[in-house]
């Protein structure tokens, strides 16, 4: 086993990604990252005793999308691995649902993954997110002014989704492909700066990567993730103590609420609003906290998704306006 595969196996074992006897569905687009992941996972099937399958989504967007699909099919035949293929009009889906192409592609892919997870017993889906993807996500959220939860990076394991390459840089991945004579496909849209992630990848990350910044950012994200996990658990326990529900209303005692640190106040409000179908901004959260702190009796704050927060008789009450 080469050093790269050993590092990937170390990640798999550290996060307990693959259990003996399970089925791993590798999401393979045909690009460097996913082909590298497929090749490494195939070499580990006997060592960790799991079966390997492949999922590929043809986005029907580029003129050579069918060539990508055929490449993946041929790759699976070469290694005697079953391939599951889905062809989707992602651009049409994006237009119909008024979302970006990137978001539409993600929704289509994960919907397909969920279908396969239900179809194949004891299975997990492996995606080829790597350390550079992790660092890029950190920078994207940082530039948006994200809170702590947005700076925790891409999780190595999220439910039944695993990311074996999450601790490997793109440079090491490309070197692995070269050393093993792999010939992945190249997606020319990856070179277009119209997409936010590509803009960050091509124009922001190179000077950071030259200074060893990728590993540093990933390390920071991991530390922040530990802090976020603690604060999330603390908030859940505080919610059990300070939040009550009554007639489809969420009620928080203002006297107790005002004694809490600002970070916990914000998290408690978000916990109270967790079933909202709309994104609630920091401005809205802070408006609710200000009204509660000053105990403005009769104060009403209208939030997206037909949600209203009011202060009445020492209580902060949050409810759906149309109920």
Q: In this predicted structure, what is the pLDDT of residue 273? A: 84
* Nearest Cα residue to 318 out of 268, 307, 294: 307
Q: List phi, psi (to 5°) of 22.
A: -80, 170
Q: In this predicted structure, what is the pLDDT of residue 91? A: 85
CA-to-CA distance for 244 and 233, rounded, in angstroms?
18
Q: In this predicted structure, what is the pLDDT of residue 323? A: 53
In the block, tokens 């990567």 appear at 209
Q: In this predicted structure, what is the pLDDT of residue 193? A: 45
Q: In this predicted structure, what is the pLDDT of residue 197? A: 78
Q: In this predicted structure, what is the pLDDT of residue 126? A: 97
Segment 146-205, tens digit of pLDDT = 888 889 989 999 999 999 999 999 999 999 999 999 989 875 545 444 467 788 888 999
Neighbour-count burial of 245, counting CB atoms closer than 10 A to its CB (0-12 exposed, 13-18 middle, 19+ buried): exposed
The pair of structure tokens assigned to 111 is 């919907």
Structural domains of the chain sorted by starting position, each given as residue range(s) with its CATH number in brackets: 3-225 (3.40.50.620), 247-320 (3.30.465.60)
CB 195 within 8 A of CB 106: no
The pair of structure tokens assigned to 194 is 């119209």
Segment 20-41, tens digit of pLDDT = 999 999 999 999 999 999 999 9
CB 72 within 8 A of CB 185: no
CA quadruple 225, 231, 234, 240: dihedral sign: negative
Q: In this predicted structure, what is the pLDDT of residue 195? A: 60
CA quadruple 68, 155, 111, 19: dihedral sign: positive
pLDDT in tens, the chain (323 residues): 899 999 999 999 999 999 999 999 999 999 999 999 999 999 999 999 999 999 999 988 777 788 999 999 999 999 999 999 999 888 888 888 888 888 888 899 999 999 999 999 999 999 999 999 999 999 999 988 888 888 998 999 999 999 999 999 999 999 999 999 998 987 554 544 446 778 888 899 999 988 889 999 999 999 999 999 999 999 999 989 988 888 788 899 888 889 999 999 999 998 888 877 677 888 889 998 998 888 877 778 888 888 888 888 888 998 877 65
Q: In this predicted structure, what is the pLDDT of residue 165? A: 97
Q: In this predicted structure, what is the pLDDT of residue 267? A: 92
Q: What's the residue count for the chain?
A: 323
């Amino acid at each position: 086993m080469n050093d790269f595969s050993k590092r990937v196996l170390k990640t798999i074992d550290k996060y307990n990604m693959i259990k003996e006897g399970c089925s791993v569905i590798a999401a393979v687009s045909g690009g460097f990252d996913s082909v590298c992941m497929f090749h490494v996972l195939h070499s580990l099937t006997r060592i960790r005793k799991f079966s390997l399958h492949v999922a590929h989504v043809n986005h029907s967007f580029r003129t050579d999308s069918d060539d990508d699909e055929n490449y993946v099919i041929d790759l699976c035949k070469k290694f005697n691995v079953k391939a599951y293929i889905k062809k989707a009009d992602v651009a049409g889906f994006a237009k119909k649902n008024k979302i970006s192409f990137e978001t539409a592609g993600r929704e289509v892919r994960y919907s397909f993954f969920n279908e396969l997870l239900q179809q194949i017993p004891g299975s997990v889906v492996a995606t080829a997110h790597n350390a550079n993807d992790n660092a890029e996500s950190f920078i994207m959220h940082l530039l948006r002014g994200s809170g702590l939860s947005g700076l925790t990076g891409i999780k190595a394991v999220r439910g039944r989704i695993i990311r074996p390459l999450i601790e490997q840089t793109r440079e090491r991945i490309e070197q692995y492909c070269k050393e093993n004579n792999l010939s992945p496909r190249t997606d020319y849209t990856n070179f277009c700066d119209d997409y936010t992630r590509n803009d960050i990848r091509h124009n922001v990350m190179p000077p950071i990567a030259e200074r060893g910044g990728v590993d540093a950012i990933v390390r920071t994200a991991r530390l922040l993730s530990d802090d976020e996990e603690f604060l999330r658990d603390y908030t859940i326990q505080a919610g059990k103590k300070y939040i009550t529900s009554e007639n489809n209303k969420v009620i928080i005692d203002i006297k107790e609420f005002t004694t809490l640190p600002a970070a916990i106040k914000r998290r408690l409000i978000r916990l109270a609003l967790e079933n909202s179908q709309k994104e609630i901004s920091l401005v809205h959260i802070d408006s609710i906290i200000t009204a509660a702190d000053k105990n403005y009796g009769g104060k009403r704050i209208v939030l997206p998704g037909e949600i209203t927060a009011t202060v009445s008789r020492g209580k902060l009450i949050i409810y759906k306006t149309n109920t």
